[in-house]
Amino acid sequence: MSLPQQIGGIEINSISFEQLKLDVDTLNAISEPTASVIEKSNNEFNVNIFTHLPATLKVIQSMNSAFKVNENIWVRYDGLLNISTPITSHPPGIPCRSFEVVYEAQEPNPSVFILYKISFDYSITTPESGVEAEAIFVRNNDLDPRTSRGTVTTIRQEK
């Protein structure tokens, strides 16, 4: 994949990926991703995602509205969503940019996981009707689903 890549009103400018810890058992694997987002400049952001994924994954050939991390992992951008949280449950919720770490596990009940760090920079190319995101919503999505889990993270401005 060549960068930059346009996806639904944002432009992916850089991607990095690394395996941080191998052979993590089920008891020590966290089921939802942890994410941070930093505003580097006006409309330019850096996202870091830490997530445990099954050690054995199937190859995913292609995916719409997504960018390829490696042959087994993609990150899909779902646009702006209003998310209600325990902190701010008042309607319509917090406007969040929604990202999914997409993979397909080879086993229905994996017992060994790998901790990954996925980092990418994006810039906003098409502001959606003047609405600014206050946070990002990141979740894991196994294409052979049992559950999808996620977390909402607010934006920190770089100093």
Q: What is the DSSP letter of 27?
A: G
Which amino acid, residue 156? R
Handedness of CA 63, 79, 34, 143 (dihedral sign): negative
How far apart are the C-alpha atoms of 99 and 1, rounded to whole Å? 18
Whether 140 shows a pLDDT value over 90: the answer reads: yes
Exposure string for 55-82, b = 16+ CB within 10 A, e = fewer: bebeebeeeeebbbbeebbbbbbbebee
pLDDT of 2-30, one tens digit each? 789 999 889 999 999 999 999 999 999 99
pTM: 0.85
